[in-house]
Structures are given as structure tokens and as C-alpha cells.
Amino acid sequence: MFSFIPKTLGIILNFIYQNLAFQNYGFAIILFTVVVKLLLLPLTIKQSKSTAKMQEIQPIIQEIQRKYKNDKEKLNEELMKAYAEHKYNPASGCLPLLVQLPILFSLIYVIGQPLTYMLGYSADKIKTLLDTVPEANRIAGFYAQIGAVKFHEILNMQFLGLDLSLVPTWRPNVLFGPEMSTYLPLVILPILSFVSTILSNKLMMMSTMKRNNSNDNKDASQDASVAMQKNMMFIGPMMTLWVSFQFPAGLGLYWFAGNVFQIFQQLYLNKYIINKKEVKEN
């Protein structure tokens, strides 16, 4: 069942690679990222509207919490009524994240095992290709298929001089060893992913703080939300940096491209969705 997602993503990535990206693997990943983000855009817009709606009804929620603080059953009942009356769904804010995580994890398989998920080769054909790879060119474990892809030149996994099939490393003996020209440039992708995650998180936090500052009825829950976002300002980029050094560079490119798209997307949402809504209310 789980293989359905990476196989579907692999088919999409292969179609883009063969027909839209001029058989350029890096360009295909960037276009793939844009396609995924555009497909998720309706959910993202819904999430932004949901967040703005939550800020709007915050005074009502606070009053209900104050009034029924000693009666949990009545509190939940009144909150549900308020949510229904103002057409607010607390779960809608989680949808984009719930969809994006399976895509990210599945993409690890698509990039790590391209013969299976991107090209759809049978197990017998994959075994034949792996067996014909000389010992010196073989890659052990999960990424064995990448060795076959490179040796048989099935896919061109180069992008702007970077080998996107390789896993970036921070080990000095590799970065400044005999393969320095191959591995040292790869470090740029984890760094770009790290920096772009900081910028993306910063932009989202500024948007939240702006809405909170415009609300005269702030409470502890809003302060907690801001505090959580401040923590994510540190945790998110560090997690991105760590993941980018654990998997092939193609995943780092996907992450970086996604962050760049998200930055422009957030600027658009702030200007045409959130700010427009605030102007109407004022």
C-alpha cells in the first residue's frame, strides 16, 4: 500500500524528466516541486484563511473558556457551536503538513531507488542491471540502484556540475580528499536548504506576530503559539540541515526549491489573502 505513493510520484517525476525538463534531473526535480506546491496551493490557502479566522474569533473563544472553565463538557459543546457558527475547522490548518510529509518520505525512495519507482523496472531487470555493474562501481545497501543508473547511464543525474545522486557529507577527509571536486560543491545544497528554511519560517512567524499584535484580546494560547514558532525557527532549519546530509542531494534540491516557492507563496498570501481580509474587516 505504501509503495503506491512513491510509485505515483516516480511516474510524475519521470514524465517531467522525459518530456518537460530536457532530461535534466535537477530541472525535473525543480519542476516536480512546483507541480506539488501548486497542487497543494488550495489546501495552503485554506490553511491561511483558517489561521486568520482563528485570530478573528479569538475573543469569542476566550469568553467561552472564561465562562465555562469549570465545566469541560459544556466548554467543548460551546466551542463546537462557535466553530460551526463562524465556519471554522480546527483540523484544516494541519492538512498541508499531513499531505507534505508522505510526499517528502516517498521522495526518498523515488530518488534512492529510481529503477523501481521512477522508471518502473521489474525486479528481474533490476537484478540483471545490478549484477552487471563492476565491483568498483557498485553501491551497497539502499542506494544500490543509483550505482546501476550511473554505470549504465540510464539517467543523467548531473545538475549545474553537481551529482544529485550522491549523499552530501561534512567529513573533512572526504570534502578535502581525492574527491574534493565532487563532494565539496554538494555542501551548497544543505546550506541553501538551511538558509531558505530560516527565511521561510521567519516570514511565517512575522505574519503570525502581525496578526497577534493587531488583536487587542491576546491570551496565553496566542503567546504559546508565537513561542512555539520561535522554537521552530531553530528546530526546523537544524532538522533540514541534518536530513540534507543523510540522503542524496536531489532531496536537498527539492527542499530548497520548495522553500523558495513557499517564500513567494507566503508573500502572495500575506498581500492578497490575509491583508485583504483585514482591510475588509476594518
pTM for this prediction: 0.86
pLDDT of residue 281: 52
Highest average pLDDT, of 122-131, 206-215, 229-238, comes from 122-131
pLDDT of residue 256: 97
Mean pLDDT (the chain) is 86
pLDDT of residue 190: 97
Any idea what the Cα angle at residue 265 is, between residues 259 and 267, rounded to 5°? 110
Nearest to 20 by CA among 9, 36, 32, 5: 32
* DSSP for 100-113, written as a single string: HHHHHHHHHHHHH-
Confidence bin at 279 (pLDDT 50/70/90): very low
110 contacts 12 by C-beta, under 8 angstroms: no
Tens of pLDDT, residue by residue over 54-102, are 878 888 888 898 888 888 888 899 889 888 888 888 777 677 778 888 8
Tens of pLDDT, residue by residue over 152-211, are 999 999 999 999 999 999 999 999 999 999 999 999 999 999 999 999 988 888 776 666
Residue with cell 463562524: 86
Confidence bin at 110 (pLDDT 50/70/90): very high
Residue 155 CA from chain centroid, whole number: 24
